[in-house]
Amino acid sequence: MHWSRRTPCSSLADKKPGNANTLAARLARLGLRSEADFVLHLPLRYEDETRITELVDARPGVAAQFEVDVIDSEIAYRPRRQLLARVRDGRGALLLRFLNFYPSQQKVLQPGARLRIFGELHEGYLGPEIIHPRFHLMREGEPLPDRLTPVYPTTAGLGQATLRRLIDKALNSVDLADTLPMALRETLRLPEFAAAIHYLHRPPPEVTQAALEARDHPAWRRVQFDELLAQQISLRRAYAARRARGAPPLVGTAKLTQALLASLPFRLTRAQQRAWREIAVDLGQPHPMQRLLQGDVGSGKTVVAALAMLHAVEAGYQAALMAPTEILAEQHNRKIAAWLAPLGLDAVWLTGSLKKREKEVAIARVGAGDTAIASGTHALIEDKVEFARLGLAIVDEQHRFGVRQRLALKEKGQFAHQLAMSATPIPRTLAMSYYADLDVSVLDELPPGRTPVTTKLVAESRRDQVVARVHQACRGGGQAYWVCPLIEENGVSAEADASEARVKRSGRSRNAVLQLKTAEETYARLVADLPDLRIGLVHGRLKAAEKAAVMSAFVANEIQVLVATTVIEVGVDVPNASLMVIEHAERFGLAQLHQLRGRVGRGTAQSACILLYAQPLGELARARLKVIFESTDGFEIAREDLRLRGPGEFIGARQSGLPLLRYADLDDEALVEQARAVAEEMLRDAPELATAHLQRWLGGREELLKA
């Protein structure tokens, strides 16, 4: 994009970037590609080499600098080969120990040599020692540095000295001109950019390191503000660019949408009506809609999507609905078929359960334009699929798609209107930043007649009672889900990996395998415990057609208890199922528990969600279970989730490829607000400064941010 404006590092330009061992490759791993990037690579902490400490004043565990003379040095062989040097200053002595060393280092440590050393002293077997001190031979009259020494985030094979040298060079050559007008800086009480940057890379010794390292200093505040500002500018620009692009205005006749509404056994809620109106208005515009329809689980997003698709069809265009899992796509297909049949319309399916030949026919029909509605998984955005005249692309459970799929859809739907749907409520600060380029409709009301789901926490030791409860519910005509745990390794929730698409891509993910094993065991155990019930099993490793068969048997109440892995987490809608058991609930993330619980309470029967947990509970697990027990409000749960996990984890940014904020904190609502206001002001009054600012912070990486 704007590469021409960024000076490539001349010293790196000639190295082969393909080889992972070149300096350039190592730097690239840190995101350091141009000199401008170096300037924004800020220290993690500092070391104080501006002072000399006397050995007698050294405190164990505190890093300090000393000036010493070498008494003698030798290579010892016990317990292993190592280099030992005895040194002293005027009032004390010390042992230096090197477990790895070069002959050149040994050479420097000649008796009588004068050294500056830096390191942490501790009490060794032979008295005070420093292991692997940094040291150099002192030059005659060598001055002490007058700045703290920065320690940068780095990667294997890239030393601090190299980084410092490259960063110093960049600081001297990169244009650090301020992108914030002085008046603004003064109102916001932020220091100048150049001053803040120099300060953070090379702070004077009199500052308290603690404040700097806690990032609680005006210079850090400036950097954090700038980073948030870049994010805001980028998102607002994306929004403006989209509005400048053309899309076919979809003008409906209301014939099909009215017919659908008339055929439904319910009336739209007020929230659904409002969202549908907002979407219809957008669809009529000559620029692409990019709207997020947010609504808690069970709020009825699917029917709104169906109305939008029919509107596109009325206008003579095609519409596509994409789901993140095959199970959900199959369910959409069933629903849509039932809705379309009375209207004399049919649709095309594209999912993994299709045979090769069927798939080809489907693709051909979409390409010929003789079918207006297509529904399926991400198979819909594969290269082979060419829509004749796509007017609207809808993505259900949008947060479950990976960044690549979102980009692919964007490409495909370049000139189409887009609607994303999500049941993961986004807390305000995240909405203001990561989703600022979307318009949002919210379904803030559930359809009437739902009885709230009761949530029970039950210790694993009382499993028998839970089995009895399942028995009773099913004998009474109800149905139940029994969800098996996600196996976690080293305590990190694999939640964001649960999407089928991703599990498949990573091949036989260990998690999926372990999860499968427990699901099969649980299934066998329940079959033995409940011989008079019809029990089914569904998991991600079944073939798509097998999964579809199990799910339709469950929908038809031919299966009474469905043992499942997290493949049923999103979107599945079987109103007759009124009981959900989640085994090892302590291993699930909050968003996931909320989604799973949302599978019940969809009919009129009183529903319950039983969270089986194993003791002892860790602190975080306990906190999560408390939240899910106390609240059924998706927004509140999301807020708590954000608090417990932090924004990076919350948004699944690592998985989705969104660049995380490096320095700023999204919890800092006041600063996010300020950045948003300033972004608007700058784009209006000083667009060239906004461009320069964006360039400095995002360089060529803006595309990712917008995916």
| Binding residues vs ligand ADP (CB under 6 A) | 266-269, 272, 295, 297-303, 423, 447, 571, 573, 575, 602
Query: Is 571 one of the binding residues for Mg ion (CB under 5 A)?
Result: yes
CA distance linking residue 568 with residue 523, whole number of Å: 16
- Name the closest residue to ligand ADP (Cβ): 300
Q: Is residue 325 exposed (0-12), middle (13-18) or buried (19+ Cβ within 10 Å)?
A: buried
As measured in angstroms, the least distance from the Cβ of 603 to ligand ADP is 8
Q: Which does 300 bind (CB under 5 to 8 A by kind): ligand ADP, Mg ion, none?
A: ligand ADP
CA distance linking residue 451 with residue 448, whole number of Å: 9
Nearer to Mg ion, 180 or 593 (CB): 593
Q: Which does 599 bind (CB under 5 to 8 A by kind): ligand ADP, Mg ion, none?
A: none
Q: Whose CA is closest to 269, among 420, 396, 441, 440? A: 441
As measured in angstroms, the least distance from the Cβ of 301 to ligand ADP is 4
> Phi and psi for 439 in degrees, rounded to 5?
-90, 145
Nearer to Mg ion, 425 or 571 (CB): 571
As measured in angstroms, the least distance from the Cβ of 570 to ligand ADP is 8
As measured in angstroms, the least distance from the Cβ of 396 to Mg ion is 6
Q: How many residues bind Mg ion (CB under 5 A)?
A: 1
**Pairing between strand 373-376 and 318-322?**
parallel
As measured in angstroms, the least distance from the Cβ of 349 to ligand ADP is 18
Q: Which stretch binds Mg ion (CB under 5 A): 313-321, 431-439, 464-472, 563-571?
A: 563-571
CA distance linking residue 628 with residue 407, whole number of Å: 33
Q: Which of residues 456-485 bind Mg ion (CB under 5 A)?
A: none
As measured in angstroms, the least distance from the Cβ of 675 to ligand ADP is 32
Q: Which stretch binds Mg ion (CB under 5 A): 31-39, 153-161, 569-577, 635-643?
A: 569-577
As measured in angstroms, the least distance from the Cβ of 626 to ligand ADP is 24
As measured in angstroms, the least distance from the Cβ of 474 to ligand ADP is 20
DSSP H or E run through 497: none
Nearer to Mg ion, 41 or 599 (CB): 599
Q: Which does 632 bind (CB under 5 to 8 A by kind): Mg ion, ligand ADP, none?
A: none
Q: Which does 602 bind (CB under 5 to 8 A by kind): Mg ion, ligand ADP, none?
A: ligand ADP
Nearer to ligand ADP, 34 or 272 (CB): 272
469-478: string of b/e by CB count within 10 Å (b at 16+)? bbbebbeeeb
CA distance linking residue 379 with residue 630, whole number of Å: 39
Q: Which does 298 bind (CB under 5 to 8 A by kind): Mg ion, ligand ADP, none?
A: ligand ADP
Q: Which stretch binds Mg ion (CB under 5 A): 34-42, 359-367, 409-417, 565-573?
A: 565-573
Q: Is the peptide bond before 616 cis (omega within 30 degrees of 0)?
A: yes
As measured in angstroms, the least distance from the Cβ of 377 to Mg ion is 14
Q: Which stretch binds Mg ion (CB under 5 A): 18-26, 469-477, 546-554, 571-579?
A: 571-579
Residue 449 CB-half CA count within 13 A: 10
The residue behind tokens 């029990």 is 535
Nearer to ligand ADP, 436 or 446 (CB): 446
CA distance linking residue 403 with residue 651, whole number of Å: 12
As measured in angstroms, the least distance from the Cβ of 338 to Mg ion is 16
Q: Which does 575 bind (CB under 5 to 8 A by kind): Mg ion, ligand ADP, none?
A: ligand ADP
> Phi and psi for 118 in degrees, rounded to 5?
-135, 130
Nearer to ligand ADP, 324 or 699 (CB): 324
DSSP one-letter string for 186-248: HHHT---HHHHHHHHHS--TTS-HHHHHTT-SHHHHHHHHHHHHHHHHHHHHHHHHHHHS---
As measured in angstroms, the least distance from the Cβ of 305 to Mg ion is 9
Q: Which does 299 bind (CB under 5 to 8 A by kind): Mg ion, ligand ADP, none?
A: ligand ADP
CA distance linking residue 626 with residue 699, whole number of Å: 43
CA distance linking residue 569 with residue 68, whole number of Å: 65
Q: Which does 378 bind (CB under 5 to 8 A by kind): Mg ion, ligand ADP, none?
A: none
Tokens representing residue 79 in the block: 């317990």
Nearer to Mg ion, 530 or 596 (CB): 596
Q: Which does 601 bind (CB under 5 to 8 A by kind): ligand ADP, Mg ion, none?
A: none
As measured in angstroms, the least distance from the Cβ of 399 to ligand ADP is 13
CA distance linking residue 48 with residue 42, whole number of Å: 17
Nearer to ligand ADP, 331 or 518 (CB): 331
CA distance linking residue 4 with residue 10, whole number of Å: 14
Nearer to ligand ADP, 298 or 589 (CB): 298
Nearer to ligand ADP, 301 or 406 (CB): 301
Q: Which does 331 bind (CB under 5 to 8 A by kind): ligand ADP, Mg ion, none?
A: none
As measured in angstroms, the least distance from the Cβ of 427 to Mg ion is 21
CA distance linking residue 231 with residue 653, whole number of Å: 14
Q: Do 395 and 373 meet the contact criterion of CB atoms below 8 Å apart?
A: no
- The residues with which 580 forms a beta bridge, in sequence order, are 481, 609
Q: Whose CA is closest to 197, among 31, 35, 41, 33? A: 41
Q: Which stretch binds Mg ion (CB under 5 A): 229-237, 317-325, 462-470, 564-572?
A: 564-572
Nearer to ligand ADP, 299 or 479 (CB): 299
**Pairing between strand 127-131 and 92-98?**
parallel
Q: Do 538 and 297 meet the contact criterion of CB atoms below 8 Å apart?
A: no
The residue behind tokens 């194993």 is 614
Residues interacting with Mg ion, by CB under 5 A?
571
